[in-house]
Amino acid sequence: MARFEPAALPELLPVFYRRLFPHGPYGRWLSYGGVKNYFQLREFSFTLRDDVYLRFQSFGSPQELERELQKINPYKIDIGAVYSHRPNQHNTVHLGAFQPQEKELVFDIDMTDYDDVRTCCSLADICSKCWTLMTIAVRIIDRALVEDLGVQHRLWVYSGRRGVHCWVCDDAVRKWSPALRAAAVEYLSLVKGGADTVKKVNLSHPVHPFIRRSVGVVEKYFEEYALLGQDILGSPERWDKVLALIPEDYREPLQAEFPKKKDSVQRWELLRGRMERTRASGRGVALGPCYADWEVMLQFCFPRLDINVSKGLGHLLKSPFSVHPKTGRVSVPLDLQRLDQFDPFAVPTITSLCHELDTAGSDGEQEDVGETEPKRRTRDYKKTSLAPYVRVFEQFVEGMESTRRGERIRRSDLQGDF
C-alpha cells in the first residue's frame, strides 16, 4: 500500500471528492426520503487546511453539497443536527430561536478511553490485539440496540484512526429528546468512575439480562484478547491489578495460589472456578453469589461510551467517508456480517485509492468520452478497494428506503387507498 503523506492532501482531496466520494447514496441517506426541508436544515461543518474551521454550513440539495465539496475540498467533514432554520442563515434569526430539532442517535467509542486496561498500546496508537475491544463494543451495543431498544437502522463506521462511530437512523429515534438519549446511553453504560476509581464495575444480584448477555459476548473474546493478548495475569504486578477488583475474602487465597500456576489462562480458571462455586451454591462471602469474575471481564472489555456525544443534539460527529487527515484512512462503514475479519490497517488510504485510480485509468481513459460525470464516477470507485465499503453503505441506505416504502404501503392500506 502506497505510503500516506499528509502534505499530499491538497493534491489528493480534489481527486477523492470528484471521483471517489459516494455522493449519490450519501445524499439519499441524509435526505431521508425527501422529508420536507430535512436536508436543507442540516448542519455540515468543514475543517480546511491549516485547521480553518467552518461551522453552520447548509445546502439546498445534495447536488449543491457535492459542488461545494469539490470546490473547497475539506480535510474533514462533520455532520450536525437538523435545525429549526437553515444553519447558513443562523445569524439572521432571533437569538434563541435557532435550535436543533432532530438528529440521529450517535455513539462514539474511542480506544484512548481504554488506556487503563490495555498493555499493548496507549493514546492514539492501536494494534490488532487491542482492536478486539472495538469488535466487542460493536457486538454488545448493536445487539442491545436491536433486541433491547428495538431500533432497526444502524450504520457503524470506522473513524479512520482509533475508534468506531454508530449512527442510529430510525425515524422515531431521530426525534428523541436529549433526556431520552441520555437514558439510552445510561442503559448501555457499566464502567463508571475516572482514573482514581479502582473498581469501575459493580454488579448486584439478580444480574440484569442486558449484563448477562454482554458477559456472553465478552466470554467469546476474553481468553484470546485478555489472557493471551494482554496477559492480564502474567506477572505479580499485573495480577495485583485484577485481584484489587476481587472481594477480600477471596483475594488472599488467590494471591497465595497464583504463583503456582503457569500462566494467565490457568490463573483465570482458578479465579473463575471460585466465583462460579459461590453462584452454584448461592452462598458467597456470607453475602450470596459473587460476580467478581464478570466484573473483571466487563471492566477490561465492556464498551466505554462518551455520553456527551450521544445526548447532545448539537454535537457534531465526523461524517462517513471523511478522510482522516493524520492517517489518510477513509472513514468506512463496517460490515457486521464480517466484523471479526475487519482490519483497520487494511482500510484504504486516500493515497492508495488515488494510486489504484491511476493504475486503472491507463486502460480505461477512452471509455470516458461522452459519458456523464455521475456514471463515470460510479465506475471510478468500483475500480478501487473502496468499492466493498460503498456497497455496505448502499445496502444500509436501501434498507431504510425499503422500510419507508413498506410504511407508505401500510398507511395507504389502512386508509383504503388501493
Tell me the catalytic residues. 43, 108, 110
Q: Nearest 10 degrees: CA dihedral of 37, 181, 305, 160?
A: -10
> What is the C-alpha to C-alpha distance for residues 308 and 189, in angstroms, rounded to an integer?
13
Half-sphere CA count of 345, side-chain side, radius 13 A: 7
User: Is residue 291 left, alpha or beta, with left meaning phi > 0 and alpha meaning psi from -120 to 50?
Assistant: alpha
Cell numbers at 4, concatenated:
500516506
**Burial class for 97, CB neighbours closer than 10 Å (0-12, 13-18, 19+):** exposed
Which of 358, 335, 361 is CA-nearest to residue 346?
335
Q: Is 238 within 8 Å of 231 (Cβ atoms)? A: yes
Q: Is 145 within 8 Å of 168 (Cβ atoms)? A: yes
How far is C-alpha 406 from the geometric centre of its chain's CA atoms? Answer: 28
Which of 81, 67, 68, 63 is CA-nearest to residue 26?
63
Rg (CA), the chain: 25
Q: Is 331 within 8 Å of 158 (Cβ atoms)? A: yes
* Single-letter amino acid code for the residue at 123: L
DSSP for residue 6: G
Cell numbers at 138, concatenated:
460493536
Task: Give the SS3 label for residue 156.
Answer: strand
Buried b (16+ CB within 10 A) or exposed e, 58-83: bbeebeebbebbeebbbbbbbbbbbb
Which of 349, 300, 302 is CA-nearest to residue 323?
349
